[in-house]
Structure 1
Amino acid sequence: MDENNRITITVCGDGGCGKSSITLRLVRSQWTHEYDPTIEDSYSVTRTVDGQSYFLMLTDTAGQEEYRGLWAASNLKSDAFLLVYDITNPNSLDALDFFMEMIDMEEEQRLDEGKVPPVKIVAGNKCDLQAARQIKSPQGLDWARQRKCGFMETSAREMVNIEETFALLVRRVVEARRLAAAGGSTAPVSNRTAALPPMNEKDTSSSHAPAEKGGENARRGNLWKRLKCW
């Protein structure tokens, strides 16, 4: 397969937030409720996005503090990062600061070298557990926007926005590479595209449409109404 169609993705976040569940849902269409702490696992899967086949190489990384020192430098060389938190655990969103700090340093280095910056998307997982929700969707979205990341809410258990999240990662990596090859801006793609979650395949294009006269609040209100995990 063409190297341009190979995309590396690092999945990171606190222990127990569902990183492995999201990864296995994509790779094997499986879900397990058993929690088995991961040190590091690698997977590969082929997906077709916008008519083009891509070979995705995923690294599911350690979330527990005692394992974070084992983060390999190769993890930071990925084309994209999926930062996962658990909507029922406020501490899991705070834990993303650790990973974001390392990713930001890697991004600065790539920009200084004129390389393609990494794509970053934040995923609020376990959105099927609405009764136990501790982190509201606007809170997660604001956290992601402040750090120039895309944003989704997912459920590995109910298969909500799993395929859509990785399709969005692929599209943003492809766009970042296209801009770099054309000699355009090397600013992160997420700086120039709204951090908005596609709701389903037919709504994807409209979710990135410019805001109407109603402004940002109206647009955000419409988005929350269409969220599949609501």
Structure 2
Amino acid sequence: MDENNRITITVCGDGGCGKSSITLRLVRSQWTHEYDPTIEDSYSVTRNIDGQNYFLMLTDTAGQEEYRGLWAASNLKSDAFLLVYDITNHHSLDALDFFMEMIDMEEEQRMDEGKVPPVKIVAGNKCDLQAARQIKSPQGLEWARKRKCGFMETSAREMVNIEETFALLVRRVVESRRIAAAGGPAAIPNRTAALPPMNEKDTSSSTAPPEKGGDGLPKESFWKKLKCW
């Protein structure tokens, strides 16, 4: 397969937020509810996105604080990062600061070297557990936007936005590579710009933040099921 169609993705976040569940849903189409602390697991899977086959190499990393020192330098060399938090656990969003700090340093180094910076998407997992929600969708979105990340909400259990999230990662990596090849990494746009909903039928009957105007945000609401920026 063409090297340009190989994409490396590191999945990171606090322990118990569902990183492994998301990864296994994509790779094996199965859901596991048993929590098994992961030091590091690697998987590969092929997906056809927009008519093109891509070979995805995923690393499911350790979330527990006692394992974070084991983060290999190779993890930071990924094309993309999926930063996962648990919408039922306030602490899990704060825990992403640790990973974001390391990713930001890696991004700065790549920019200095004229390389393509990594793609970053934040995923609020376990969105099927609405009754136990502690982190509202706008909170997760705001956290992501401040750090120039994309944003999704997912459920590994209900298979909500799993394929869509990884498809979005792939599309953004492809876009970044294309822009960098055309004008260099400095030409890659700021990632805080809003993306339209990926599925228009999911944009109604939702509890959305107030309508925005003039800043690129879509006026229609889409928090019901599919959250994508």
Return the TM-score normalized by structure 2.
Answer: 0.89
Check 1:23–1:79 CA distance in 2 against 1; reply closer, same or farther (3 A cut). same
8 Å CA contact 1:115–1:186 kept in 2: the answer is no
Q: CA deviation at 1:227?
A: 3.1
Q: CA offset at residue 89 of structure 1?
A: 0.1
Paired residues of 1:80 and 1:169 also in contact (CA < 8 A): yes
Q: How many Å separate the matches in 1 of 2:94 and 2:116?
A: 27
Q: Deviation of residue 150 (structure 1)?
A: 0.1
Q: Distance in 2 between matches of 1:23 and 1:201?
A: 26
What whole-Å deviation, never above 9, does each CA across 1:2-35 have from its counterpart, x for those lacking one?
A: 0000000000000000000000000000001000
Unaligned runs of 5+ in 2: 204-210
What's the secondary structure of 2:221's corresponding residue?
helix
Larger relative helix fraction: 1
Structure 2 equivalent of residue 111 of structure 1: 111
The one-letter code sitting in structure 2 at the alignment partner of 1:10 is: T
Structure 1 segment 1-230 matched on structure 2, within 5 A: 1-186=1-186, 189=189, 191-192=190-191, 194-196=193-195, 198-200=197-199, 214-215=213-214, 219=218, 222-225=221-224, 227=226
Q: Which residue of 1 aligns with 2:206?
A: none
Classify 1:132/1:80 alpha carbon distance in 2 versus 1 (closer, same or farther; 3 Å). Answer: same
1:155–1:82 CA distance, 2 compared to 1 (3 A): same
Amino acid at match of 2:153: E
Structure 2 contact 87–135 (Cα < 8 Å) conserved: yes
| Aligned-partner residue type, residue 52 of structure 1 | Q
Distance in 2 between the 1:43 and 1:54 partners?
14
Equivalent residues, number: 221
Moved more, 134-143 or 176-185: 176-185
TM-score normalised to structure 1 length: 0.89
Per-residue displacement from partner, 1:79-99 (whole Å, max 9, x unpaired)? Answer: 000000000000000000000
Letter in 1 for 2:20: S
Partner of 1:182, secondary structure, is helix
Task: Measure the CA separation in 1 of the matches of 2:53 and 2:4.
Answer: 11
Q: Alpha-carbon deviation of 1:222?
A: 1.5
Is the contact between residue 80 and residue 119 of structure 1 (CA under 8 Å) also seen in structure 2? Answer: yes
CA displacement at 1:198 relative to structure 2: 3.9
Q: Compute the displacement of 1:180 (Å).
A: 1.0
RMSD: 2.4
Residue 223 of structure 1: CA displacement? 2.4
Answer whether contact 1:27 1:45 (CA < 8 A) is retained.
yes
Q: Percent identity?
A: 90
Q: Which amino acid in structure 2 is aligned with residue 134 of structure 1?
A: Q
How has the CA–CA distance of structure 1 residues 218 and 53 changed in structure 2, closer, same or farther, with 3 Å as cutoff?
closer
